[in-house]
Amino acid sequence: MPKQYSNSTDSQPTESKLSKRVAAFFATTVIASTALALTTGLTGCDNLVTEQVTFIVAGHPTAEFGVDVDSGCAPMTVLFSDESNGPRNQWLWKFGDGDSSTDTTPTHTYTTPGTYTVSLKITDTDTIPSATDSETKKRFIVVGTSIGGFTMDTAAGCVGQDITFTPSFAGVTSFAWNFGDGGTSTDTFPTHTFGIVGDFPITLIVNGACGVDTAFDTVRIGNCPSFTFAADTNGICIGDSIVFTESNLDSLPHSKFTWDFGDGTTLSDTVNSAEHIYADTGLFTVTLTVENSDSLSTTDSLVDYIRVNDVLTPDFVAISPTFACETPASQFVVGFNDKSTGGITNRIWNFGDGTFDSTNNPTPFHAYTTVGQYNVTLQVFAPCGANSSETAVKPSFVTFAGPLTIGASISKASEDTIAGTITYNFQDISLGVPSEWRWDFGDGQFSNAREVTHVYPDTAAVYIVTFTIANACSTTQLILTDSTTVVIP
């Protein structure tokens, strides 16, 4: 049997699967193509057979639609028309109010005022795969009424509270409000204050493009909570605990307390106090909303009420020299600078010579008139609860040195008969504020301490002790002789 080379066993050419797929994506046209088959004859020669296939490529659908009217008063009936291009045999309309249709040109009635988004999806199921397209028109249909109702600041208000009423309307030319307590208004957005307790029917009558319309609602007015609140302190440091307490000023029990501490933290509870710890420094506004047994609430705020400071850390430096030598009729003036941190509200300086500065001065200057060494102290204060003050002390911070008058004292301290030693005390009693000392004990031993003990062997001997003192102003040497000579019997 001769070999067959063909893409079909039928005697008639057939439309290929490829042609069906292509048909879904190109504009409508007629395309001619050829199908080739190669056969082998009895003579052994190959014959080329040509067959022609004609097929149609369908166009892709493009959705579009229109309406006979796109705005009006409720109820409003709208005729939708399909204005799409391309082949389609299925329609899905969505009218934006929950209803839909599969008709070609549906009619739909809107009964509720509002703005509606409409969409159309068309499909051509004759292609493989099916071809679809959609069109959506946002806020396409506007259905109006003279009044769509109104809202109030609250449906349950307080005696004496201003309540604002806000209508939803379109094309209204006049408003007539009746608040149910004898009060009326023709304002568009009126505010009304109810002076007594009760339930009051609110009526709004409007006249507009869609005619006369009326809306109703009810407001309940009661006695709202009256209260004050405070903290146990309004100045703290980071990490300190603070307690807020509410005080009831009316006769109804208060049942719920919602605290806003101003740092992004809130707390709701049924007790009238709250404890809080702030994690950041700054000024914080605290707000409390109190609800009573009638489910009415009142809100009050204390603006910038809480100040949270850094942890109190005292420190100071000198801004001038702290050492000086006395001259005739001289005084030594030293300047100080507070380097403390922590939201300081007050400071007290103690200059060490019996004088103080409590004027809260961060950079005081002080005149020293007497030669000496002085401990300087700074006490700083901040609203930090239990840690409301801290103190920095700097010993011998200021030196006002004069001419040196050397003096020394020596005394026998103890005797160790077993060890065979005698211990003596050596003490500087000089005048003029020396800053350096040197003791030569006469036995080859030395010390640079101001006061020192020294041990001699309990062996008969005479030791000549030399004592030297110095400061930046002078150097003086004293050789202790005679009655101050160390004599070991």
Domain CATH number, residue 237:
2.60.40.10
End of a domain among 372, 401, 430?
A: 401
Whether residue 210 lies inside any domain: the answer is yes
Q: Can you give the pLDDT at residue 162?
A: 92
Residue (of 200, 248, 196, 202) closest to 222 by Cα position: 196
Report the range of poorest mean pLDDT among 147-156, 364-373, 452-461.
147-156
Count the Cβ atoms, other than its own, within 10 Å of residue 311.
Answer: 16
Alpha-carbon distance of 260 to 245, in angstroms, equals: 13
Residue 91 has pLDDT above 50, yes or no: yes
Report the range of poorest mean pLDDT among 18-27, 35-44, 218-227, 461-470.
18-27
End of a domain among 108, 124, 144?
A: 144
Alpha-carbon distance of 99 to 136, in angstroms, equals: 15
79 and 91 in a single domain? The answer is yes
365 and 413 in a single domain? The answer is no
Report the range of poorest mean pLDDT among 73-82, 311-320, 396-405.
396-405
Whether residue 335 lies inside any domain: the answer is yes
Whether residue 307 lies inside any domain: the answer is no
pLDDT band at 57 (very low <50, low <70, confident <90, very high): low
Q: What is the mean pLDDT of residues 402-418?
A: 88
Evaluate whether 154 touches 298 at the Cβ level (below 8 Å): no
DSSP secondary structure string for all residues of 426-466: EEE--BS---EEEEE-SSS-EE--SEEEEEEESSSEEE-EE
414 and 384 in a single domain? The answer is no
Strands 451-457 and 486-488: unpaired
Whether residue 483 lies inside any domain: the answer is yes
Whether residue 465 lies inside any domain: the answer is yes
287 and 337 in a single domain? The answer is no
Q: Can you give the pLDDT at residue 3?
A: 38
Whether residue 308 lies inside any domain: the answer is no
118 and 85 in a single domain? The answer is yes
Report the range of poorest mean pLDDT among 106-110, 220-224, 284-288.
220-224
233 and 197 in a single domain? The answer is no
Whether residue 311 lies inside any domain: the answer is no
Token pair of 449 as six digits: 């301490």
Q: What is the mean pLDDT of residues 87-106?
A: 96
111 and 153 in a single domain? The answer is no
Evaluate whether 459 touches 488 at the Cβ level (below 8 Å): yes
Alpha-carbon distance of 213 to 146, in angstroms, equals: 6
Alpha helices in 145-238 (DSSP H): none
3-state secondary structure of 401: strand
pLDDT digits (tens, 9 = 90+) for 328-347: 668 899 999 999 988 788 99
Whether residue 242 lies inside any domain: the answer is yes
Domain span at residue 367 reads: 316-401
Question: Could you give the number of structural domains in the chain?
Answer: 6
DSSP secondary structure string for all residues of 330-384: --EEEEEEE--BS---EEEEE-SSS-EE-S--SS-EEEE-S-EEEEEEEEEE-S-
124 and 74 in a single domain? The answer is yes
End of a domain among 249, 276, 302?
A: 302
- For 2-23, letters b (16+ CB in 10 Å) and e give eeeeeeeeeeebeeeeeebeeb
Q: Can you give the pLDDT at residue 485?
A: 53
